[in-house]
A and B are shown apart, each in its own frame.
Chain A
Amino acid sequence: NAGVTQTPKFRILKIGQSMTLQCTQDMNHNYMYWYRQDPGMGLKLIYYSVGAGITDKGEVPNGYNVSRSTTEDFPLRLELAAPSQTSVYFCASSYSSGEVLYEQYFGPGTRLTVT
């Protein structure tokens, strides 16, 4: 298993440009997540999905969009990039069933700079 993969690893955007961060998992996990990590800060949840076709906002969703058309993929879209979106973005996935809690598996991250 490759686990959680993210592309690209690095990207520099100009203000106002758009891009999609890709995330794929091959563990058949139902839950997927997007986090951002600002320098010196913990991770904050942007969006999450409990299954294909279902998404919901996290703590910091403004400026982002997501979709979940398949179990494996959970892309994150930035429509009008702003300097405040300079961050490291992590995708994660987990399996959850009723009261059973399973760990989240993280991808290696995408470092995004908006100038």
Chain B
Amino acid sequence: GNSVTQMEGPVTLSEEAFLTINCTYTATGYPSLFWYVQYPGEGLQLLLKATKADDKGSNKGFEATYRKETTSFHLEKGSVQVSDSAVYFCALSPDRAGANNLFFGTGTRLTVIP
């Protein structure tokens, strides 16, 4: 089946600290992988994505590399800011063409303190 396992939160970091949020997946076929971010009171927004093995998605200083050998898609940022405080969701789509289903992890709440 298809599933995503995500690092338990919450995570609290000081400003400028290094961030890693772990994500591993189980999927049939060749999934696409995503990180979504949810700011307080808002809907989810796509942060970055990767559609095949060894692709690196990046946006706003965040990066994640699609690792087929370890079935992982860990999110990293070198220096977090207070404005990065949000809930982060790892997700996969089992169908490369497939906007028709996303499987989400449970989300990781990040709080960055000044």
Q: How large is the interface on B (under 10, 10 to 19, 20 to 34, 35 or more residues)?
A: 20 to 34
Q: Is A98 an interface residue (CB 8 A)?
A: yes
Are B105 and A42 touching (Cβ within 8 A)?
A: yes
Interface readout for B42-53 with A: 1 if CB under 8 Å, 0 if not?
111110010100
Interface readout for B72-103 with A: 1 if CB under 8 Å, 0 if not?
00000000000000000101010011111111
Task: List B residues at the A interface (Cβ < 8 Å).
Answer: 4, 6, 32, 34, 36, 41-46, 49, 51, 89, 91, 93, 96-107
Q: Is A101 an interface residue (CB 8 A)?
A: yes
Task: List A residues at the B interface (Cβ < 8 Å).
Answer: 4, 31, 40-45, 48, 50, 56, 58-59, 90, 92, 94-96, 98-109
How near does chain A come to B20, taking the closest CB pair, in angstroms? 19
How near does chain A come to B90, taking the closest CB pair, in angstroms? 9
Are B99 and A90 touching (Cβ within 8 A)?
A: no
> Across the two chains, which residue of chain A brings its CB closest to B42?
A108
User: Which of the residues A42, A90, A98 comes within 8 Å of B106, measured between beta carbons?
Assistant: A42
How near does chain B come to A16, taking the closest CB pair, in angstroms? 29
Tell me the complex Cα distance, A100–B41, Å. Answer: 31
Tell me the complex Cα distance, A58–B51, Å. Answer: 22
